[in-house]
Amino acid sequence: YSHYFFQGLVAEIGNMKGFKTFIPAQDKNKPFAKQKLGEVASISKLFEFTYPEILRKAQTIDVVWFNDRKYPSSFFEIEHSTDITNSLIKFVELQDFRTNFYIVADLRRRAEFDSKIALNAFKPIKPFINFWDYDSVLDFHTKATASKLAEQALL
C-alpha cells in the first residue's frame, strides 16, 4: 500500500458519504486502483471558501471533503513517511473553520502523533484533530463499499 492508495480510499469514502471531494493538483495523475487519483475526486478545483493565502495552504492538503454549502467539512493528511509536524502546521493555518482534521497513518505512528499533538503549539487544534490508522480506513472503506453495493442491489 502507498500514500496514494490511502489518499484514494479517503476520497472514495468521502464520495460515498455524499461529500464533494478534492485531491491536490500535484497528486491528480498518481495511480489508484487502475485509475488516476484525479478521477476519484468529485471536484477538480478547490472551492473558494476563504482568502487566497489560506486557499494556497488548503490546496496542498491530501484530501478535502466539502459539504453542500461548499465549505470544508474535513481535511485529511496521509502521513506515509513524511513528518507529521508539517501537516499539523497546515491544520493550524486552517483552524478558524468549523471542520475536522485527520492524520491518516500506520498505527505504528500513533505515539509520534500523540507526542506532537501534545505540544503547546498545537493546543488550539487538539480538540478537532483525529488519528485514523490505515487498518481502520481500509475496514471503513470495505464496509461502506459493501453497504453501497447492497443498497444498489435493492434498487
Q: What is the pLDDT along the chain (155 residues), one digit of tens a residue?
A: 789 999 999 999 999 999 999 999 999 999 999 999 999 999 999 999 999 999 999 999 999 999 999 999 999 999 988 899 999 999 999 999 999 999 999 999 999 999 999 999 999 999 999 999 999 999 999 999 888 887 777 76
Q: Cell 488516476 sits at which residue?
A: 36
Which DSSP category does 66 fall into?
A: E
- Contact partners, residue 148, CB within 8 Å, separation at least 6: 16
Three-state DSSP class for 22? strand
Q: Cell 493550524 sits at which residue?
A: 92
pTM: 0.93
pLDDT of residue 155: 65
Which DSSP category does 128 fall into?
A: G
Q: Which amino acid is at 5?
A: F
pLDDT of residue 52: 94
Which DSSP category does 25 fall into?
A: G
